[in-house]
Amino acid sequence: MSPTFENLFALVIGIDSYAECRTLTASVLDAKAIVAFLKSIGVPDRNIIRLYDQGATFDGILKGFEALVTRADIKKGHSSIFIYFSGHGASDYKSALPKSQERYWSGWDENVIEQICPQDIGQMPGIPDRMMAAWLNKLAKDKSDNIILMLDSCYAAGMTRADDGGQSDDIDEFETRTIVDPPPLSFSDEIWSRIPSIDETDILTRDQTPSDSRPTRNPSGFEFMYNHSHVLLAACSRDSKAQAKKHKGGVFTTAVLDILESARARGQNISNISYVSLMEGLHQPILRLLQSRTGVVRTQFPHCEGVSSNRGIFSHEVVFVDNELVRVTQKDGRIFLCAGHAQGVIPGSEYSVHRDRDMPAASSALLGTILQVSNIDTFQAELMLHGMPLSYFPRSCFAKFMRAPHNSPLLSVFCNDSTWVRHVIGRRQDIRWVGCREDAQIELVIDNQEIAFYTLTPVRGNVYSCESGRIPRWVRTSAGMEENKDRAMDVLRWANRFYYHLNRHSVISGVSLEFHALGKVSPPTRDKDASYSRIGHNLFDKYGQAVIKIDNPKSPFGVTLYNRSSIDYYPYFFAFESDLSISSSAFDEPQFSVVHGQSDVVDCPLPRGSSMTLGCGSASNPVCFPLLPGMVHDVTVWKIFLTTDRVDMGSIGQSSEVIWGKRRASLKDPESYVQHWADVSGTVVQLKSY
């Protein structure tokens, strides 16, 4: 039986007939197609707010948001909210704001202001991203933590000014959804009074009792900021345009609906399709829809952003995605892994083959088929196929690391029971057993009941030992109680992988990382949370190490990444925790495009000569260090991988739940551009003082 979506609420906006701007022909068609789809999956008609043309004025759109906020039947934890806009987009610069408006934008770091254009733009300003963020924060805080924002307009994922207003579109069947030189963003106090406020008590006041998840966490209250409050599905990237076929529909909306309708026709539950998987499937439909009778070549690269991008469509549930599975492609009879030196691929290593990564690896495996790495480039590796003719090999599949050759990196391990090591574990090619604790990366402590694993981290002359986890020493089998050898070997395999990624480096000059405590510098306003800034000096020493005393588990911290090089970079933030987990969720705000390895389709977040402040301002969220019960210290290493192309680095991650079975108590110059990767890292030792 197909599921229904009785708890899904929607605000659907489509505008063709603008009062003072170029008319469109397909935005209302898009909006009506969205409504028809929502009704077909069981969304009650009473749950859908429709705003078309004259109904989608500035005031009408604000009333639409107000209606969502005040609906009593939208229940947090049960309801989902879908907001759709199809029409013109625009942008302006913060530096161009009228003086009378500057006080409303204090603490807003972004210079480019994105806008959706209401029907009466020209008579009224556009609706800026800051107002949208305020409504999304309000909805997330009061109504639902599952909000989807879909924008089929230009500048949907970040923007600069367009080079034209679409006047040349009449030469064929396409139109773009762009307004150049929108009216100034000047609003009366009455309008600002309608923008939701966020109370001071909402910031850092929720229960901060440490959970069984990894120690590094976002302070409570920050999870609703910006794309932490919603998943964004955007029609195009910065410097590109949202295309629509005249009188037929937007390319982005049409492609999304085609994929979802096709899935339903196959009997597939769309709640089992993640937003990431949806975006991965858009490439070919987008190319097909952009084909023109005149032969004009067009491109459009949708984006997906948000920490909940792995949830199912309109669902609160996360869709299983095995991040260890890496996409495999074919070209000219050769097979390639979409990972290379940057992702830590090892020459000669072997991979299993899998049909899908939205299901457990064992159920999707092609048994007897092995791929072996032959040649490695920066972002891809060529594979040799064993166990299957190339003609039978699937065109679309994934690969999972199985084993490395004998000359792979060694893990240094110390154990207090050498007899146990000799008789139970024995000799292994990838483990070096050391006789001195100070020479080890991992320590094993054996007693009659358990095997305990500890990470050993040298910082400033001290070795900090942190318990990673424990497993039972014995396991019951048909032959009786036996040593839990296989389980111990699994943990050591994860530990080896952990230290391999932690210790591999590609040094580049001109990139540095700073670590700061944060303090509140401005109270919450009507449309954003409190603003935080750096306090004091850089806590990292010249070796990239910091030892901090934690007197309050809610104390916020942040980092600043500086790019003083001549290269544009895509940064990937990973937290290496003492439980052997590698997580990208401390600072990273996932951003996906539909094309792997093409940097010009995803907006570059760290261009040359710039910096990225993480944890303060409007860019992202601070972290805190609530030490778990019984812990007197802990160690976190933040490592930032930097690449010259937007690539998938997800295969680096590993979760504590998998290891332990539970959670622990801009465009490049083609003449000078060379693909490469680099990294920068910082180690933070946290000492409990409360």
Q: What is the pLDDT of residues 324-367, one digit of tens each?
A: 889 898 988 999 999 999 999 999 999 999 887 766 666 678 87
Q: Within this chain, do residues 681 and 587 fall inside the same structural domain, yes or no?
A: yes
Q: How confident is the model at residue 178 (pLDDT cuts 50, 70, 90)?
A: confident
Question: pLDDT, tens digit, for every residue of 606-623?
Answer: 889 998 887 775 556 688
Q: Within this chain, do residues 490 and 548 fall inside the same structural domain, yes or no?
A: no
41 pLDDT above the threshold of 80: yes
C-alpha to C-alpha distances, 359 to 279, 490, 504, 689, nearest whole angstrom: 17, 21, 30, 44
pTM of this structure: 0.71
SS percent in the chain: helix, strand, coil, step 5: 25, 30, 45
Q: Which amino acid is at 105?
A: W
Total of domains in the chain: 4
Q: Within this chain, do residues 394 and 432 fall inside the same structural domain, yes or no?
A: no
Who has greater pLDDT, 410 or 512? 512
Q: Within this chain, do residues 377 and 522 fall inside the same structural domain, yes or no?
A: no
Give domain status of residue 538, yes or no.
yes
Average confidence score pLDDT of the chain:
82
pLDDT average, residue stretch 467-476: 91
> What pLDDT, on a 0 to 100 scale, did the predictor assign at position 599?
45
CA-to-CA distance for 340 and 674, rounded, in angstroms? 15
Residues 515/535, Cβ–Cβ less than 8 Å: no
Q: What is the DSSP letter of 156?
A: B
Three-state SS for 682? strand
Q: How confident is the model at residue 289 (pLDDT cuts 50, 70, 90)?
A: confident
Q: Within this chain, do residues 485 and 562 fall inside the same structural domain, yes or no?
A: no
| Residue showing tokens 């320590």 | 443
Q: What is the DSSP letter of 626?
A: -
CATH of the domain at 35: 3.40.50.1460
Q: What is the DSSP letter of 260?
A: H
Write out the H or E segment, with its range, that includes residue 68. Answer: helix 58-70
> What pLDDT, on a 0 to 100 scale, did the predictor assign at position 544?
94
Q: Which of 53-57, 75-79, 159-163, 684-688 shows the lowest mean pLDDT across its residues?
A: 159-163
Give domain status of residue 320, yes or no.
no
> Domain boundary residue among 385, 403, 421?
403
Q: What is the DSSP letter of 202?
A: G
> What pLDDT, on a 0 to 100 scale, did the predictor assign at position 590?
42
304 pLDDT above the threshold of 90: no
User: Can you read off the two tokens belonging to residue 230?
Assistant: 């919603």
User: Can you read off the two tokens belonging to residue 584?
Assistant: 């990208």
Who has greater pLDDT, 108 or 301? 301
Q: How confident is the model at residue 186 (pLDDT cuts 50, 70, 90)?
A: confident
> What pLDDT, on a 0 to 100 scale, did the predictor assign at position 222?
40
425 pLDDT above the threshold of 90: no
Q: Within this chain, do residues 188 and 278 fall inside the same structural domain, yes or no?
A: yes
pLDDT average, residue stretch 274-283: 83
> What pLDDT, on a 0 to 100 scale, did the predictor assign at position 507?
83
| Residue showing tokens 């990838």 | 430
Q: How confident is the model at residue 112 (pLDDT cuts 50, 70, 90)?
A: confident
pLDDT average, residue stretch 183-205: 65
Question: pLDDT, tens digit, for every residue of 529-566?
Answer: 556 788 899 999 999 999 999 988 888 898 999 999 99
Q: Within this chain, do residues 186 and 281 fall inside the same structural domain, yes or no?
A: yes
Give domain status of residue 310, yes or no.
no
**Residues 6 or more apart in contact with residue 672 via CB below 8 angstroms:** none
Question: pLDDT, tens digit, for every residue of 638-684?
Answer: 999 999 988 888 889 888 888 887 655 433 333 445 677 778 888 89
> What pLDDT, on a 0 to 100 scale, did the predictor assign at position 351?
94
Q: How confident is the model at residue 437 (pLDDT cuts 50, 70, 90)?
A: very high
CA-to-CA distance for 41 and 433, rounded, in angstroms? 58
Q: Within this chain, do residues 491 and 526 fall inside the same structural domain, yes or no?
A: no
Give domain status of residue 38, yes or no.
yes
Question: pLDDT, tens digit, for every residue of 259-268?
Answer: 999 989 988 8
Give domain status of residue 427, yes or no.
yes
pLDDT average, residue stretch 205-216: 37
Q: What is the DSSP letter of 585?
A: T
> Domain boundary residue among 471, 503, 535?
503
C-alpha to C-alpha distances, 541 to 149, 461, 506, 638, 670, nearest whole angstrom: 42, 13, 20, 14, 37
> Domain boundary residue among 503, 525, 556?
503
CB atoms within 10 A of CB 367: 8
User: Can you read off the two tokens belonging to residue 660?
Assistant: 């332990």
| Residue showing tokens 């309050």 | 552
Residues 230/133, Cβ–Cβ less than 8 Å: no
> Residue 125 class from Cβ within 10 Å (0-12 exposed, 13-18 middle, 19+ buried)?
buried
Give domain status of residue 217, yes or no.
no
Q: How confident is the model at residue 227 (pLDDT cuts 50, 70, 90)?
A: low
> What pLDDT, on a 0 to 100 scale, did the predictor assign at position 207?
32
Q: Which of 640, 641, 627 is nearest to 685 (CA)?
A: 627
Q: Within this chain, do residues 155 and 268 fall inside the same structural domain, yes or no?
A: yes
Q: Within this chain, do residues 17 and 146 fall inside the same structural domain, yes or no?
A: yes
Of the ranges 201-215, 303-317, 522-536, 595-609, the best mean pLDDT one: 303-317
Give domain status of residue 416, yes or no.
yes
Would you tell me the crossing angle of helices 251-265 and 27-40 to the nearest 10 degrees? Answer: 20
Three-state SS for 301? coil
310 pLDDT above the threshold of 90: no
> What pLDDT, on a 0 to 100 scale, did the predictor assign at position 309?
85
Q: Within this chain, do residues 75 and 141 fall inside the same structural domain, yes or no?
A: yes
CA-to-CA distance for 305 and 296, rounded, in angstroms? 29
| Residue showing tokens 């030469």 | 171
Domain of 184 in residue numbering reads as 8-201+226-305
Q: Which of 81-85, 314-318, 658-662 shows the lowest mean pLDDT across its residues?
A: 658-662
Three-state SS for 532? strand
> What pLDDT, on a 0 to 100 scale, did the predictor assign at position 172?
64
> What pLDDT, on a 0 to 100 scale, did the predictor assign at position 450?
93
pLDDT average, residue stretch 184-198: 78
205 pLDDT above the threshold of 50: no
Q: Within this chain, do residues 436 and 522 fall inside the same structural domain, yes or no?
A: no
Q: Which of 94, 99, 97, 96 is nearest to 109 (CA)?
A: 94
Give domain status of residue 605, yes or no.
yes
Q: How confident is the model at residue 296 (pLDDT cuts 50, 70, 90)?
A: low
C-alpha to C-alpha distances, 12 to 9, 47, 275, 548, nearest whole angstrom: 10, 11, 19, 49
Q: What is the DSSP letter of 628?
A: P
pLDDT average, residue stretch 155-183: 59
CA-to-CA distance for 305 and 231, rounded, in angstroms? 6
